[in-house]
């Protein structure tokens, strides 16, 4: 992945939203979303230069991330 100029706080926000959409939040009764829906909503929410490349990377790792046992 080539260098992307993105604010660290923005990146952390993107990761938090991704995590919420992929895993849900049982304590807040937020269910995980289907992959297509989660990806579409994340792209709509984060639309600054460089965001789409990061989102594409996250979703390229989607299955591996969902299968983490941590």
pLDDT at 34: 92
* Residue 48, domain member (yes or no): yes
Which sign does the torsion angle of CA 16, 22, 23, 24 carry? positive
61 or 5: which leads in pLDDT? 61
Write down the pLDDT at residue 64: 87
42 lies in some domain? yes
Tell me the HSE value of 45 on the side-chain side, using a 13 A CA sphere.
Answer: 17
Q: Strand, helix or coil at 25?
A: strand
Q: What share of the chain is helix, strand, coil (3-state, %, to 5)?
A: 65, 5, 35
Task: Return the pLDDT at 65.
Answer: 80
Find out whether 32 and 23 touch, Cβ atoms under 8 Å: yes
Number of domains composing the chain: 1
Is 28 part of a structural domain of the chain?
yes
Residue 24 lies in a domain: yes
The Cα 47–Cα 37 span in angstroms is 16
Determine the pLDDT at residue 9. 87
- 2 located within any domain: no
Range of the domain at 20: 8-66
In a domain, 51, yes or no: yes
12 within some domain: yes
Q: What is the pLDDT of residues 1-54, one digit of tens each?
A: 456 667 888 889 999 999 999 889 999 999 999 999 999 999 999 999 889 999
pLDDT at 5: 66
């Amino acid at each position: 992945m080539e260098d992307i100029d993105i604010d660290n706080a923005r990146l952390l926000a993107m990761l938090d939203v991704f995590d919420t959409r992929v895993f849900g939040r049982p304590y807040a009764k937020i269910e995980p979303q289907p992959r297509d829906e989660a990806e579409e909503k994340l792209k709509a929410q984060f639309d600054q230069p460089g965001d789409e490349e990061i989102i594409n990377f996250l979703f390229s790792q989607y299955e591996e991330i969902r299968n983490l046992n941590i």
